[in-house]
Amino acid sequence: MQALDTDLLRTFLAIADAGSFVGGAARIYRSQSAASIQIRKLEDLIGAPVFERHGRGIRLTPVGETLEPAARQAVRLLDGTLAQLRDDGLKGSLRIGIPDDHSRDVLSRIIADFSQRHPNVELSVHCALSAGFSKSLATGALDIAVHEVATVLPEMTLLREEKLQWAASSALQPDPGDPLPIALYDRDCWWRDAALRSLEIAGRAYRIVYSSESTTGIVAALEAGIAAGVVGASAMGARLEPVTGLGVIPPSNLVIEYGRVADMDICRAMTAVIQNAFAA
């Protein structure tokens, strides 16, 4: 007798939650083609499609809607049972800070993976501007945080290094003799100081016309053609292009940093989950 495979159910739920095969595959660390094969196996087993195309994404068919609650219940029961059998002994709470300019897919992977592996740890997530994370770690308001720093200290864990550069829309055509209109980050962000320092070294006059706490806000101003600004390479879209002659910006380092009174066993467990999420 044929039976539903839990791997097929996990792939099904990941794609349903992401709303696309690409996003769902990333959540379970598979390629898109591998995820598609899994769904075809599931549909062959059931004898009906579970997804249908909807705009640029997908949505559940009536059969998929029937399967979804049962799949969630089955996966939740199995994960809970496995956690009890393993019982790694981790109990307590963890307060984590994650920048709000990272994708929801990354955040959801971190929360789901950690909760499944360590169900006896209460998780509190602070998703906000990361400029205040260092202070929160020092005061004990956070136990662990993911944020950008200029220099990686020995007690930090490096996730990735990203190139920073001046960028603007082709619609921005300032007169070389006029001060350059620029968009800057909030005063608590070191990217702001690095941008101003590079302009001073380059001897370029400027005027601040826009400021924002987030990468989304800065990119919006740049794409609107009202200013030039500093962004990471990952934020460079088709509507932006590099701007030369404004000095060099040092790279930014995305790190994991720990609080001074944090439970390090729990922090190390979360570090492994975060590393896996960003690697995917």
User: Domain boundary at 86, 103, 131, which?
Assistant: 86
Is residue 1 predicted with pLDDT exceeding 60? Answer: no
- % the chain with pLDDT above 70: 96
3-state secondary structure of 151: coil
How would you classify the pairing of strands 180-185 and 228-232?
A: parallel
For the stretch 120-167, pLDDT in tens is 889 898 887 777 888 899 898 999 999 888 899 988 999 989 999 999
Q: Which residues contact 99 (CB under 8 A, 6 or more apart)?
A: 127, 128, 129, 130, 146, 147, 148
Between 199 and 107, name the one with better pLDDT. Answer: 199
- Closest-CA residue to 90 (of 121, 124, 122, 125): 121
Say whether both 192 and 157 belong to one domain: no
3-state secondary structure of 187: coil
| Total residue count of the chain as it appears in this document | 280
For the stretch 154-206, pLDDT in tens is 889 999 899 999 999 999 988 888 999 999 988 778 899 999 999 999 999 99
Structural domain of 171: 164-250
CA–CA dist 144, 97 (Å, integer): 6
Question: Is 1 inside a domain boundary?
Answer: no
Please give the helix or strand (H or E) that residue 52 lies within, else none: strand 51-54
For the stretch 27-66, pLDDT in tens is 787 888 999 999 999 999 999 999 998 877 899 999 999 9
User: Quick one: pLDDT band at residue 104, thresholds 50, 70, 90?
Assistant: low
pLDDT number for residue 203:
92
pLDDT number for residue 85:
72
Q: Which two tokens stand for residue 247?
A: 């000095």
CA–CA dist 273, 88 (Å, integer): 15
Average pLDDT, the chain: 87
Q: Nearest 5°: phi and psi at 144?
A: -155, 145
Q: Which two tokens stand for residue 137?
A: 């770690």
pLDDT number for residue 216:
84
Say whether both 153 and 263 belong to one domain: yes
Check if the beta carbon of residue 111 is closer than 8 Å to that of residue 275.
no
Average pLDDT of the residues in 6-31: 87
User: Domain boundary at 59, 86, 113, which?
Assistant: 86
User: Domain boundary at 86, 103, 134, which?
Assistant: 86
